[in-house]
Structure formats: C-alpha cells, structure tokens
Structure 1
Amino acid sequence: MTTEATSTELHAFTESWREWHRAQEARLAAPHGFLAVTGLHWLDDRPQRFPDAPGAWHTGAEGVVVALDDGEELVVDGTPVRGEHRFGALPERGGVDAIWGDAVIEIARRGGHDILRPRHPDAPLRTAFSGTPAYAPHPRWAVTGRYIPFDTPRPTTVGAAVEGLEHVYDAPGRIEFTLDGRTLSLTAFPGGGAGRLMVLFTDATSGVTTYAANRSLIVEPPAADGTVLVDFNRATNLPCAYTDLATCPLPPAENRLPVAVEAGQKIPRERGGS
C-alpha cells in the first residue's frame, strides 16, 4: 500500500467517523433527546403529580394510568386524550411517548418498574450542550472479530446506573477478538434491528478519560462465517454519562477489558470531561 493510498484511506475513515459522531450528537441533543429529560419519576399505586408533567399518575397490574385535569390534554399516537387515559401494561424496555405542548412525556418500563420521564426542549442540560469530547479516530481500533453464538440465549442480569435496579438481557453469544496482541472477548446483547449486536464494556481508561460506569458499542450483523467488525472508535456514552435521570445498564463482569481502549467518546463535559 502506497503512502498516498494510506493517507487517502485514513482521510475517508476519519470523515466517515465524523459523520457518525455528528449523527450521535444530533440524536442526543434533539429537542426531545435525552438531554431534554427533566425528571425521572417512579410510579406506584398512589396517584402522584409532578412539576414537569400534567395530571396525576399511577400504575398497577393493568399498567400506567393518568388522570388529566380540566383543560389538560395529551396527544397519544396522534389522538388527543383528556380526562383519564390508560396506557396499558408496558413491556420491559418498552415505552410510549405522549405529546404535551412542546414537551414529550415518556412513559416507560425499566427494570420491572414503570417510570415517567418528561422531555422539555428548554431543559438547561440540552440548551447548554456543547458536544462530547472524543479520541481522534484511527483504524488500529477497528478490529476484526469472530461471533460465537451460544447454544441458546443466556439470561444475563446486570446492574444499572440507578442503585438497586437490575436489567436482564438474553445474551445470544460472545465476540472474540485480538487487541494489542491479547485475545479478548465480550458478551453480546441484542442490538436492535435484525442481527445487530450491542456490547457494554469498561476498560483501563474508564474513570480516567472515559466514563467510569460503561460505554456501548453497536456491532453490525455477523457475516456467514461469523466475522464481525469491532470498531471501538464508535464506542459511545450512554445517557447516564450525561445525567442522573437515566437507568442505563452496566456491563456484565466479563466485559471489563484489561486494556486501555483509547478510542471513542470520552467523559462528557457535563461530568467534568474536557
């Protein structure tokens, strides 16, 4: 490979990463993205009112219910609702977005609990956002790995950013790869979309230059021979890296890498990063 070709390829690699990074930042800082969240409210069988949402909310065996006051209105699935509205039982990691003026009220189920997470475009965390620091991308951190499926998916319980909360994932397999001459592996979880995988991990940079609790990496569907691309340049922060109003899962113990992955997103400025 010529020096010119190498330079050209590095430029293309860098531009592709920059486009990806801009898209990540845009989703995070969208008018109703995670930086717009103003509260994390835990629902139970007692009707509760919150300063950043309309009505009185409670939950039970049949799911979340809101009782709106006179003159209050939510739009659910495009339909205006008034008075009492029943959202029904929500699946784990599922949710519904209800529109309230220029805000969105997220009704969700996390770790076996029903929660309310209002999202307001004028939230200070969102309006002050100036971007996420990241390592400069480099091809050395994009390694070819091999996906090894389990005979059957393994239920895997992990902790959460909220103390006492747990998440359970059905891990379909693990990914083996070599980094800096060391053979390593990561347990993979479903990544959304047909065949995609998601890994949660920490490494020797965690708590130093990258967020201490976790980072996330999406891996595209394996090839027929199990080959996958593990591109740590695209390691992202989860919402809990920016705000305490998140229930993000923590990595399983085996996903604590003993090497320094100096790639991907760093500690957000909101947590003292630079």
Structure 2
Amino acid sequence: MPTSTHTENSSRRAESQQDAFATAWAEWHDAHERRRADPHGFLAVTHLHWLGAEPARLDGVPGTWRVEDDAVRLVLGPGESLQRDGRELNPDGGATVEFGPIAERDGINLTAGDTVVELAKRGGEYIVRPRHPENPLLREYRGTPAYAPDPAFAVEGTFVPFAEPRATTVGAAVEGIQHVYEAPGEVRFRLGNRELALTAFNGHAPGSLSVLFTDQTSGKTTYAANRSLTIAAPAPDGTVSLDFNRAVNLPCAYTDLATCPLPPAENRLPVPVEAGEKTPTERQDA
C-alpha cells in the first residue's frame, strides 16, 4: 500500500511534469505569436488583387498589371519604384517587367518603400497582396486566445500511407477557387474513447505532415472554417505525435484577404478538441 510520502512524491512529479509541459507550450506559442505579428506578415496585408488579362492599376501597388501566357506583365511609369532583392526594376523611369510562370502556392516578394508586394498563385490564379507594417489589423493585434495546455490532448498515433499519394481537392476561404494538395496517407489516433483518423498533407519540413480539421468546438469557441496542426516526420514504424495544444489558426481566421484551404470532408472530427488556439478576438467582436 503506498505510503503518504510516496503519494506526495508522485503528486509533486506529476505537478512538475505539468509545469514543464505548460512552460514548453507557452514558449512555443509566444514564438508563434511573434512570427504572426511580423511587420510584413499576413496581418499586414492591405489588399487582395486578382490579376486578369486586362491591364489594371492596383491600390497600394505601383504600376499596371496583367496576366499573359501564364506570366505576369508589369508596366512601371516615371517615378514608380519597385525593387526585387534590392535591385531597382525601373531605373530609367519607364520599364516593362515580366514575372513567372509561378507555381501553385509559390510566390515572390517585391518591395515598394515600406510595402512588401506579394505576387503569388492561388487556385490557379495570380494574386497581388501588398503588406504594410502600418496596417490597422497588425497595429491593433493583441494576441490570440487559446485553451490552457492540457497533456490529455497530446497523443500518439500512427501514420498509414496510401498505396499511392492522392490528389485531394479542397475548398478555400475565398469563393470560386479550389486548392489541390497531395495527401500521402492518413493519421490514425485515439482521443478520449474515440478512434479517429485525419487525412494528412505534406508539411513544409522534409518528411513532416500537416492536417487541416474542424471539430465540435468549431464555430463555438474555435474558428469555424479550419484549424491546422503540424506533425513531425513519422518514426520508421509509422508512430507520430499529435499535440492538439499546438493547433493554430490560419490567416483566414483574421482577415478576409486570405485564400486559406478548407479541410477535406473526412477531417471533420465528431468530438470537441478543447485545445489549441481559439477564435481570434477580432472575429468574436465582428
């Protein structure tokens, strides 16, 4: 039978582990918030322009823009300055510059004074998004609420690869476009007393995975459209770690000038995931 001292030691160890878990989460989330509040991050986006075949001048951006043969043609007039990697693109006061073709979900950054001009392709279309550090959304940002870290939502799972990677089409936060991702497999795991699975896309880091999901908190305490979770590369036996305390909002949770993907239909979890980031205050007040 456990002694009082043994019980007290066990309790102290459990508290120490919980404290360490909470500290690691706080450090991670603080770093994530700093990246989110970058002077030229997505909170700094002032406009979302969709380019077409007709020449157009764009608010917040110098020049006249149009798309031709899957490339973007830009005409800069006298007094209009735009730089790429520190090189002036209009040194003589009247230049025509061509960019592309640009791959889907890829892009380049140009600069015009304090503005970073993002030129990218989303849903098969070219977009231009100027980002300015004085954008009110960025200036007024005060952080994102989140659930208190809970080890119960940090679970192990298994990555099960598909026989062949599957091209998976999902909707977007912007009507009229779709995103296509390669899904190498699914992640199976247990949360509470439920056996669950999520279709996984390839992550940014080599071998890593990314899942988009909604759950029974979506539209209540968490953002309705989606949340995202990054999963480190699976172990040789397929074991993965899912820490839903590190589930984060995508840009569309903060601004209508984002083109974020929506989760595939099978990634709507039938349980509440009371962990990770909640609905941003700006959206709560809207």
Q: TM-score, normalised by structure 1?
A: 0.98
Tell me if 1:4 matches 2:12.
yes
Secondary structure (helix, strand or coil) at the match of 1:14 reads helix
- Structure 1 letter corresponding to 2:62: P
Distance (whole Å) between structure 2 residues aligned to residue 86 and residue 2 of structure 1: 66
Deviation at 1:51, TM superposition (A): 1.9
Secondary structure (helix, strand or coil) at the match of 1:2 reads helix
Tell me if 1:93 matches 2:101.
no
Tell me if 1:51 matches 2:51.
no
CA contact (8 A) 1:150 1:173 kept: yes
Deviation at 1:273, TM superposition (A): 6.1
Distance (whole Å) between structure 1 residues aligned to residue 117 and residue 179 of structure 2: 22
Deviation at 1:78, TM superposition (A): 2.9
Aligned to 1:199: 211
CA contact (8 A) 1:209 1:273 kept: no
Aligned to 2:27: 19
Q: Which 5+ residue runs of structure 2 have no aligned equivalent?
A: 1-8
Distance (whole Å) between structure 2 residues aligned to residue 206 and residue 162 of structure 1: 19
Tell me if 1:222 matches 2:234.
yes
Aligned to 1:259: 271
Secondary structure (helix, strand or coil) at the match of 2:146 reads coil
Distance (whole Å) between structure 1 residues aligned to residue 87 and residue 22 of structure 2: 44
CA contact (8 A) 2:233 2:240 kept: yes
Aligned to 2:6: none
Which of 140, 143, 149 does residue 152 from structure 2 map onto? 140
Deviation at 1:249, TM superposition (A): 0.2
Q: Runs of 4+ in structure 1 displaced over 2 angstroms?
A: none
Q: Deviation per CA, 1:94-144: give whole Å up to 9, x if none.
A: 000001111100000000000001000000000000100100001100000
Distance (whole Å) between structure 2 residues aligned to residue 25 and residue 132 of structure 1: 8
Distance (whole Å) between structure 2 residues aligned to residue 118 and residue 65 of structure 1: 17
Deviation at 1:56, TM superposition (A): 0.8
- Structure 1 letter corresponding to 2:61: A
- Structure 1 letter corresponding to 2:233: P
Q: Which 5+ residue runs of structure 1 have no aligned equivalent?
A: none
Q: Deviation per CA, 1:131-176: give whole Å up to 9, x if none.
A: 0010000110000000001111100000000112100001000000
CA contact (8 A) 1:204 1:261 kept: yes
Aligned to 2:125: 113
Q: Deviation per CA, 1:221-249: give whole Å up to 9, x if none.
A: 00011000011000000000000000000
Deviation at 1:36, TM superposition (A): 0.1
CA contact (8 A) 2:179 2:261 kept: yes
Q: Deviation per CA, 1:165-223: give whole Å up to 9, x if none.
A: 10000100000000011100000001111101000000000000000000000000000
Which of 36, 40, 59 does residue 28 from structure 1 map onto? 36
Secondary structure (helix, strand or coil) at the match of 1:8 reads helix
Larger Rg: 2
Tell me if 1:68 matches 2:76.
yes
Relative to structure 2, which stretch is displaced further, 160-169 or 67-76?
67-76
Distance (whole Å) between structure 2 residues aligned to residue 183 and residue 150 of structure 1: 19
CA contact (8 A) 1:43 1:59 kept: yes
Q: TM-score, normalised by structure 2?
A: 0.94
Same amino acid, percent of matched pairs:
57
CA contact (8 A) 2:47 2:59 kept: no
CA contact (8 A) 1:133 1:273 kept: no
Secondary structure (helix, strand or coil) at the match of 1:272 reads helix
Distance (whole Å) between structure 2 residues aligned to residue 88 and residue 262 of structure 1: 43
- Structure 2 letter corresponding to 1:261: V
Q: Tell me the matched-pair count.
A: 274
Distance (whole Å) between structure 2 residues aligned to residue 219 and residue 159 of structure 1: 22
Distance (whole Å) between structure 2 residues aligned to residue 270 and residue 85 of structure 1: 38
Tell me if 1:246 matches 2:254.
no
Secondary structure (helix, strand or coil) at the match of 1:151 reads strand
